């Protein structure tokens, strides 16, 4: 397990502290605008969606661009000749939608929800979408080894 420490023990550089203070002030100002209309909430959600999905895929080592994500968002489909990365973008969009809907509905994180998300992420690209892995894995260039599959 990785020990990150508690916030009281974490020392930040002064410039980082100043940035966090600016963020806190911006959040305070933003919160004065609440409650937001459904239209504004939807526009904010859609503005961040392509970058959030693209960044998530890139962190997983999946090459995807913002342009590719936007194109797939427009059609919300891929065809048989589409690349694996295009399918992965579509899957990530579907999983993101499920995750946000679950959060907005107040659904608690559970094994069932994780399996639903995994099923969407791995649809048509993974060996066992929605199932727990049955064999050990190693993450290349990682300083740690994931927990045993059993």
State the residue range of the domain holding 83: 11-122
Model confidence, pTM = 0.71
47-82 pLDDT tens trace: 999 999 999 999 888 888 999 899 888 887 777 767
Does residue 4 form part of some domain? Answer: no
Does residue 5 form part of some domain? Answer: no
Q: What sections of 2-144 are H helices per DSSP?
A: 14-31, 38-59, 66-75, 84-104, 111-122
Q: How far apart are CA 114 and CA 130, in angstroms?
A: 8
Does residue 139 form part of some domain? Answer: no
Q: How far apart are CA 129 and CA 120, in angstroms?
A: 7
Does residue 34 form part of some domain? Answer: yes
Asked whether residue 5 carries a pLDDT value surpassing 60, the answer given is: no
Number of H helices, E strands in the chain: 5, 0
Does residue 140 form part of some domain? Answer: no
The pLDDT of residue 2: 47
Write out the two tokens for 74.
């427009």
Domain count along the chain: 1
Does residue 85 form part of some domain? Answer: yes
The more confidently predicted of residues 4 and 30 is: 30
Q: Are 89 and 68 in contact (CB under 8 A)?
A: yes
The more confidently predicted of residues 139 and 70 is: 70
Q: Identify the DSSP state of 126.
A: S
18-42 pLDDT tens trace: 999 999 999 999 999 999 999 999 9
- Of 124, 122, 77, 117, which is closest to residue 95 (Cα–Cα)? 117
CB neighbour burial string for 52-70, b if at least 16 within 10 angstroms, e if fewer? bbbeebeeeebebeeebbe
Asked whether residue 131 carries a pLDDT value surpassing 80, the answer given is: yes
Write out the two tokens for 86.
């295009």
CB atoms within 10 A of CB 80: 4
């Amino acid at each position: 397990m990785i020990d990150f420490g508690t916030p009281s023990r974490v020392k930040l550089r002064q410039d980082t502290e100043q940035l966090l203070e600016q963020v806190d002030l911006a959040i305070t100002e933003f919160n004065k605008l609440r409650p937001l209309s459904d239209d504004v909430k939807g526009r904010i959600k859609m503005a961040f969606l392509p970058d959030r999905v693209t960044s998530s895929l890139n962190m997983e080592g999946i090459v995807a661009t913002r342009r590719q994500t936007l194109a797939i968002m427009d059609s919300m489909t891929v065809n048989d000749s589409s690349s694996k990365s295009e399918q992965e973008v579509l899957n990530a969009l579907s999983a993101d939608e499920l995750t946000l809907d679950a959060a907005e509905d107040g659904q608690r994180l559970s094994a069932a929800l994780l399996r639903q998300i995994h099923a969407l992420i791995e649809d048509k690209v993974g060996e066992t979408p929605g199932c727990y892995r049955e064999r050990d894995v190693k993450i290349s260039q990682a300083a740690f080894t994931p927990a045993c599959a059993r």
